[in-house]
């Protein structure tokens, strides 16, 4: 998988939302919102974060576009860009080499 910036966010209801950043760099600095391609979160046995592309066309977090992608629009101030190592775990699924709990703690701050 090519290197893409990942994004995490916690909603007002304390729900974690993860995805691949779609908003261009120039738009990020001028906009209050960003768009991500939604990925569902699971944990690996070692406690690391695993993300899988959202396949639910009735997803309650985003809107389905082009019959291929679940797109979520989030407020930029509530988001955290996740930078670090990732490894593909099959098609549309990969592992982040950071603890899910560490990412959650950073989002809450």
Q: Check whether 76 has a pLDDT greater than 60.
A: yes
Q: Check whether 45 has a pLDDT greater than 80.
A: no
Q: Check whether 107 has a pLDDT greater than 60.
A: yes
Helix or strand holding residue 96 (H, E): strand 93-99
In a domain, residue 1? The reply is no
In a domain, residue 45? The reply is yes
In a domain, residue 24? The reply is yes
Q: Check whether 1 has a pLDDT greater than 60.
A: no
Cross-strand pairs, 88: 94
In a domain, residue 56? The reply is yes
Q: Please report, for residues 24, 74, 92, the alpha-carbon distance to residue 32 in angstroms, rounded to integers and kept in the order given.
A: 13, 9, 28
In a domain, residue 27? The reply is yes
Please state the pTM of the whole predicted model.
Answer: 0.79
The number of domains in the chain is 1
Give the DSSP per-residue string, 22-79: -S-HHHHHH-SEEEEEEEEEEE-TTSEEEEEE---TT-SSSEEETTTEEEEEEEGGGE
Residues of the domain holding 91: 6-103
pLDDT digits (tens, 9 = 90+) for 10-23: 666 678 888 888 88
């Amino acid at each position: 998988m090519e290197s893409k910036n990942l994004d995490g966010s916690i909603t007002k209801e304390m729900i974690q939302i993860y995805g691949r950043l779609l908003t261009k760099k120039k738009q990020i600095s001028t906009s209050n919102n960003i768009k991500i391609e939604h990925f569902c979160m699971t944990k690996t046995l070692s406690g690391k974060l695993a993300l899988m592309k959202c396949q639910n066309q009735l997803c309650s977090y985003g809107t389905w576009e082009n019959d291929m992608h679940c797109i979520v629009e989030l407020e930029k101030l509530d988001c955290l860009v996740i930078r670090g190592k990732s490894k593909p775990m099959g098609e549309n699924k990969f592992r982040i080499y950071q603890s899910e709990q560490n990412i959650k703690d950073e989002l809450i701050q």
